[in-house]
Homo-oligomer: A and B are copies of this chain.
Amino acid sequence: MALMTMETKDPLHIPAGRGIAAELIAVLVAVIGEAPHIMTIRDARALPSGPFESSHRSLQSGLREWVEQQTGHPIGYMEQLYTFADRDRGHEGKSAISISYLGLTREESRADARDSEWRDWYDYFPWEDHRKGTPELFEAVVAPRLKQWADESTSKAARADRWQRAAITFGLDEFAWNEELVLQRYELLYEAGLVTEAERGQKPVLPGRAMLADHRRILATGIARLRAKIKYRPVVFELMPPAFSLLQLQRSVEALAGRLLHKQNFRRLIEQQELVEETGLSSFETGGRPAKLFRFRQAVLAERAAAGTKLPLLRP
């Protein structure tokens, strides 16, 4: 094995002369009541964000600083979402890099600082909430407009392709609704001209609040990631108060997933995975049989480092 000395004196590459700008963007989530919310700034038209500067110790800490400064709100759990470059975004023709993060927090209704504001994320994506069944929007607007978009293609094959893509991502025809396809749906709607990334006068066909630049796309990425993650990691608990009833927990998951769950089976799942433990307390607030209050078993974070296998393994 060849030996060799450290790289501080021998960098792999000389950095490019001009340098580029880097921006940090946060999708900061909290569940308030039974609705999933995100932190916004600028009249609810932008996500909290700011430049990454050389004074920041790391990307994460840079983001934390910005978010706390802009929203007065500390972030609990954080994970990186995606990094993208956009030549058009930078100043003076410089290209810019945006690094987005997903953050989870408990809402603690402090006085909202500056122009920051919690907003129901379904304000931006009304078609993503299927808790009350498929929104009427689908039959009224989404399906016919996508059909129309598909039919605009010239070749028969292209029409079929477009329609199949639309049917799959929106759960039309025989396809089942898949709540994880948030980003694909947004991109398809954008491609079909049913939403506009940043408003510019013309009315969008679909309801739903727009955002500056590509923030709505980033939000879609965050929602998709979170909807996927709650299924195999105990991240919901980052959004719950210290003690909660199982129904509260279920309502939170439903809020995030945008669909209703089977109560008994949900409980069975939670219990058999030993995710929670009783606090001994009960809640009498809802008027019904009192609900036992539980807390998250922190130990599972250590015990189960990861999800289970899906490979058909051979004998141990």
A-to-B contact residues, CB < 8 Å: 1-8, 11-16, 18-23, 43, 45-46, 49-54, 56-59, 62, 80, 82-85, 87-91, 93-97, 99, 161, 164-165, 168-169, 176, 178-181, 184, 190-191, 197-201, 207, 209-210, 212-214, 228, 230-232, 253, 257, 259-262, 265-266, 268-269, 302-303, 305-307, 309-316
Q: Which residues of B contact A3 (CB under 8 A)?
A: 88, 199-201
| A13-B57 Cα distance, complex, nearest whole Å | 20
Q: Which residues of B contact A268 (CB under 8 A)?
A: 312
In angstroms, how far is the closest chain B Cβ from the Cβ of A10? 8
Q: A209-B1, A261-B313, A314-B262 are in contact. Are A20 and B18 (CB under 8 A)?
A: no
In angstroms, how far is the closest chain B Cβ from the Cβ of A295? 21
Verify B46–A4 contact, CB threshold 8 A.
Answer: no
Verify B198–A88 contact, CB threshold 8 A.
Answer: no
In angstroms, how far is the closest chain B Cβ from the Cβ of A190? 7
Verify B165–A262 contact, CB threshold 8 A.
Answer: no
Q: Which residues of B contact A80 (CB under 8 A)?
A: 82-83
Q: A4-B199, A212-B6, A302-B168 are in contact. Are A311 and B259 (CB under 8 A)?
A: yes
In angstroms, how far is the closest chain B Cβ from the Cβ of A69? 13
Verify A310–B200 contact, CB threshold 8 A.
Answer: no
Q: A7-B213, A210-B1 are in contact. Are A314 and B23 (CB under 8 A)?
A: no
Q: A20-B20, A83-B99, A176-B316 are in contact. Are A7 and B231 (CB under 8 A)?
A: no
Verify A231–B309 contact, CB threshold 8 A.
Answer: yes
Q: Which B residue sits closest to A193, measured CB to CB?
A: B2
27 A-B contacts (beta carbon < 8 Å): A1-B199, A2-B45, A3-B88, A4-B197, A5-B201, A6-B213, A7-B198, A11-B89, A11-B91, A12-B46, A12-B212, A15-B51, A16-B54, A19-B19, A19-B21, A20-B20, A22-B22, A52-B95, A54-B94, A57-B87, A176-B316, A232-B310, A253-B311, A259-B311, A260-B313, A261-B313, A261-B314
Q: A4-B213, A176-B316 are in contact. Are A49 and B12 (CB under 8 A)?
A: yes
